[in-house]
Structures are given as C-alpha cells and as structure tokens.
Amino acid sequence: MKVTKKFVLPESEMPKQWYNIQADMKNKPMPMLHPATRQPLAASDLEFLFAKELCEQEFSQERWIDIPEDVYNLYKIYRPSPLVRASGTEPLIRIMLEGKDKEGIYAQAIRIARVLERRFDGKLK
C-alpha cells in the first residue's frame, strides 16, 4: 500500500476557519487553573499576556472559529507550502526558533534540547 508523504494545498482550498476539537470531545479537559488562586482561569485572566481574540479562542467551545482576515492573508503568503508527512526519522520534538543571530539561536535551541532531554531522562532520542 502506497502512503502519500507530500500534500500540496492550493491557495483556493485553504480553510477559512480553525477546527476546535474541544467542541466534539465527550470528556472535556480539566480547566486551566490560575497559579495564585487555584481557581479555573477566565479568558480575561490571560489578556495581559495575549490578545483578547486569542484568549477568547482558547476558551471557546465553538466547533469552527473564523480565521481573522489579516491572519488569513498572511497564511496565503506562507501556508500554501507542502505538508510533508513524518517518515519516522524525525526527532520526537523539533525546536524551531527564528531571528537574525543564527549562532545565538542555535545555542538557544541546543540549551532547550538539553533541558528537555534531562526532563525526559534522555527518552527523546
């Protein structure tokens, strides 16, 4: 049986909505807790960190969430790249950092990888 490894999505077929799996889950995940109060978080508790729209999306129980037009326009530039299915040779966790200082970014990625390896007792190899 042949397994497709590469998928090319034409711009005309790009989704205009995100799918929210929580809407279809029978057993919903436990709510995130506020670290200070240990009470369930509200979307407003995260607004000092994230845009209001992202906070609302994180707590939404709607099945489909419209992709904002300005975000969708950016996706049209970058997202229609091929999606390649994993072949079994990739690491369990891929660390991707962006920036102008390539040496600094590489060093930061190595530090993150080492922390993760220690955290998972070397089971990431």
Indicate the length of the chain as a whole number. Answer: 125
* 25 belongs to a structural domain: no
* 122 belongs to a structural domain: yes
**In the beta sheet, which residues pair with residue 43?**
none
* 120 belongs to a structural domain: yes
Q: Give Cα 86 to chain centroid, integer Å.
A: 17
pTM above 0.75, yes or no: no
DSSP strand pairing (83-84 vs 6-7):
antiparallel
Per-residue pLDDT, 104: 83
Reduced to 3 states (helix: H, G, I; strand: E, B; else coil), residue 66 is strand
* 116 belongs to a structural domain: yes
pLDDT digits (tens, 9 = 90+) for 36-71: 999 999 988 988 888 888 888 889 999 999 988 888
Q: Where are the alpha helices (DSSP H) in 14-82?
A: 52-59, 69-78
* 113 belongs to a structural domain: yes
* 69 belongs to a structural domain: no
Q: In the chain, how many domains are there?
A: 1
Helix (H) or strand (E) holding 74: helix 69-78
Which range marks the domain in which residue 104 is found?
91-125
